[in-house]
Amino acid sequence: MSIAVIDCLAHGSRGRRLSTLDVIGVGPRLIAGILECLGIKYDYFVGSDVFREPEVLKDFNILLVSGMSTDLTSMIRLIRLWGRDGVAIAGGPACVEYEKLLKSGYDVVVWGEAEDKVSQVVKEVLTYGKLVSDLPGVFRVEDGKVFGELPRKYLSPELLWRYTPSVKVVRRYRGWWAARVYVEVVRGCSNFYRPTIKLVSGVVCSGCSSCRSGDLELRINCPLGIPPGCGYCSVPYLYGPSRSKPVDLVLNEVRELVKLGVSRVVLSAPDFLDYGRDWLVTPKPLTDPREPKPNLVAIEELLSKLFEISEIAGGEVYVSIENIKPNLVDRDVAELLSKYLKGTSVGIGLETGDNRLHKALGRPSTVGEVVKAVELLHDYGVKPHIYLIHGLPSEDDLAIRNTVKIVKKLSKFNIEKFTLYRFTPIKYTAFEGFSKPKPAVKSRTTKKLYEVVKELNIKLKEGLIGNVVKAVVVGRRGHNLITYPLPHGPVTYVRSSTVSVGSIVLVRIIKVLNDREVLGEVVSVVREGRYRLSP
């Protein structure tokens, strides 16, 4: 039987990525790495390539498809395009929709962490042509009925880091040499606070504080059954408390990626500042998002060893981090990040600038702590990328006005950009069942916020005009080259007919095209292209 691993992450309902085009995630690479470790042959596809050419799947009997809950439509469409009498296995954050997936053509859905499940599932399917065992955290359909149960516990670090994500499959992504390749350094999240907003079920936090103080292990379960973490996020429930990947394993993966030829590596974590904090409380789980303080010794060890890799030290390969909790940022943290990551971007969740709502969401920070973190990072040359969510439960006109006020205040600092998301209710989160709001542009309440964010993003890009940036050429659109600034920045179009794809160029920014894209001109070619456009 032949196996295909398919990455449907961020494909939404249209079967292709509309944003984060330059991101190569961890999950599908991990599945491929598990198969490689087991000596099982497979092929690897990006979902958008399959939708363009569905016949590439005609010879495969087993599909392993990764996606998020927002990718459900694409995942279901893919299985219908396949249309074979084989075994289709789904995983990734979309697992929370296991009933829909199973009723739409998938045979098996793997819940949450895959390391202890995928090997057994694949071995049974290869041997018997189907799943024959009842495994915790694995759901299957038989005679139209869904069988399975949630896992009883989260994985130990020893089992969690047993497998290494595949490196070779990176080449299957278009423009892989210029992509931001995510390397997981922390699994799970330390925020086991609960939101205080009245839930759709009618449950309201009793204020017992069992998730905010006391024994770290007891914080995992709420007496009222409220899922942990920010009410809109499934990470703590699906993937558990923060567990840090050993330094040597991170180094080995990054070295192999550098050897392959990638330009950008992102150290992936729901909160990079959780790295090594779990080691300070072991054997207890890290379920406190505020204490202990960041493990600066562990963070420095990781970053310093990464910067001993010659290509990183020499500026040929760029390293950045994904996200940090603002409440963990102090001057020592900002100084350490600046030592290795000055000039790079890091994600910070504001979500709302309304203090009352901010706390009610279950967030571990205050609005004031977000502002302080941004100011400190600004002072030390690290560029915050601010995330916002509109249409949240309990959001009102006052919350929007307060958010607009804070966003304008933050724009005075050295911000990379603001990203405004629409709230999406996700199963197995505290906010499951709430209504999905209108798009911001169609909402009387949030249209003002949308317009302010768009205007500020344009102003931030206007500040780039005249700057010369290093960029990598990833393709063409009409008469223009498409380039990605290094280590990050807005998509930059360049008028040129002579520079080849894969080249590293110096580009002068000359015009803002919109709130996401700019126009530039080639100043010089640093290195001629050495890659083809197609994978």
Of 106, 129, 160, which marks where a domain is finished? 160
534 belongs to a structural domain: no
Q: Whole-angstrom Cα distance, residue 264 to residue 103? A: 39
Specify the CATH number for the domain of residue 138. 3.40.50.280
Q: How far is CA 149 from CA 111, 114, 134, in A?
A: 9, 15, 9
Please enumerate in sequence order all residues whose Cβ is within 8 A of that of 262, keeping only pairs 6 or more positions apart, or say none: 170, 176, 177, 179, 181, 317
Specify the CATH number for the domain of residue 500. 2.40.50.140
Evaluate whether 312 touches 306 at the Cβ level (below 8 Å): yes
Q: Is 142 exposed, middle or buried (0-12, 13-18, 19+ CB in 10 A)?
A: exposed
Dihedral pair phi/psi, residue 125, rounded to 5° = -65, -40
Please write the tens of the pLDDT for every residue from 386-421: 999 999 999 999 999 999 999 999 999 999 999 999
533 belongs to a structural domain: no
Q: In terms of domains, do 306 and 444 share one?
A: yes
Q: In terms of domains, do 330 and 351 share one?
A: yes
Of 442, 461, 480, which marks where a domain is finished? 461
169 belongs to a structural domain: no
Please enumerate in sequence order all residues whose Cβ is within 8 A of that of 363, keeping only pairs 6 or more positions apart, or say none: 191, 193, 230, 349, 351
Q: In terms of domains, do 371 and 429 share one?
A: yes
Split at pLDDT 50, 70, 90, the class of 531 is low
Q: Whole-angstrom Cα distance, residue 88 to residue 74? A: 14
455: helix, strand or coil: helix
Q: Quote the number of domains for the chain.
A: 3
pLDDT at 142: 86
314 belongs to a structural domain: yes
Q: Does residue 501 have a pLDDT over 90? A: no
Q: Does residue 208 have a pLDDT over 70? A: yes
Split at pLDDT 50, 70, 90, the class of 535 is very low
Neighbours of 478 (CB within 10 A): 7
Q: Does residue 95 have a pLDDT over 50? A: yes
| Count of positions (residues) in the chain | 535
Q: Between these two residues, 535 and 52, which has the higher pLDDT value?
A: 52
Please enumerate in sequence order all residues whose Cβ is within 8 A of that of 241, keeping only pairs 6 or more positions apart, or say none: 154, 188, 189, 190, 192, 220, 278, 285, 286, 287
535 belongs to a structural domain: no
Tokens of 395: 């959001």
71 belongs to a structural domain: yes
- Cis, peptide link before residue 165, omega less than 30° from 0: no
Q: In terms of domains, do 110 and 154 share one?
A: yes
Q: In terms of domains, do 219 and 85 share one?
A: no
Q: Does residue 127 have a pLDDT over 50? A: yes
Evaluate whether 99 touches 112 at the Cβ level (below 8 Å): no
Q: In terms of domains, do 57 and 136 share one?
A: yes
Of 101, 136, 160, which marks where a domain is finished? 160
pLDDT at 497: 66
Q: Whole-angstrom Cα distance, residue 331 to residue 146? A: 52
Specify the CATH number for the domain of residue 223. 3.80.30.20
Chain-wide mean pLDDT for the chain? Answer: 95
Dihedral pair phi/psi, residue 514, rounded to 5° = -165, -165
Q: In terms of domains, do 442 and 476 share one?
A: no
pLDDT at 276: 99
- 483-519 burial, b if ≥16 CB within 10 A, otherwise e? bbbbbbbbbbbbebeebebbbbbebbbeebeebeebb
Q: In terms of domains, do 201 and 145 share one?
A: no
Q: Answer whether 0.75 is exceeded by the pTM.
A: yes
- Number of helices and strands (H, E) in the chain? 16, 22
Q: In terms of domains, do 52 and 200 share one?
A: no
Domain housing 501: 465-527
Evaluate whether 131 touches 125 at the Cβ level (below 8 Å): yes
Q: How far is CA 162 from CA 116, 155, 270, 305, in A?
A: 10, 11, 20, 21
- 392-413 burial, b if ≥16 CB within 10 A, otherwise e? bbbbeeebbebbbebbeebbeb
152 belongs to a structural domain: yes
Residue 410 CA to chain centroid, in angstroms? Answer: 23
pLDDT at 59: 92
Q: In terms of domains, do 99 and 194 share one?
A: no
List the beta strands (DSSP E) in 168-262: 180-184, 186-187, 243-244
Q: Whole-angstrom Cα distance, residue 88 to residue 66? A: 11
237 belongs to a structural domain: yes
Q: Whole-angstrom Cα distance, residue 359 to residue 440? A: 23
pLDDT at 475: 87
Q: In terms of domains, do 504 and 376 share one?
A: no
Q: In terms of domains, do 99 and 59 share one?
A: yes
Q: Average pLDDT of 216-237?
A: 97
Q: Average pLDDT of 237-251?
A: 98
Q: Average pLDDT of 454-464?
A: 97
List the beta strands (DSSP E) in 317-369: 318-321, 323-324, 345-351
Please write the tens of the pLDDT for every residue from 416-443: 999 999 999 999 999 999 999 999 999 9
Please write the tens of the pLDDT for every residue from 249-269: 999 999 999 999 999 999 999
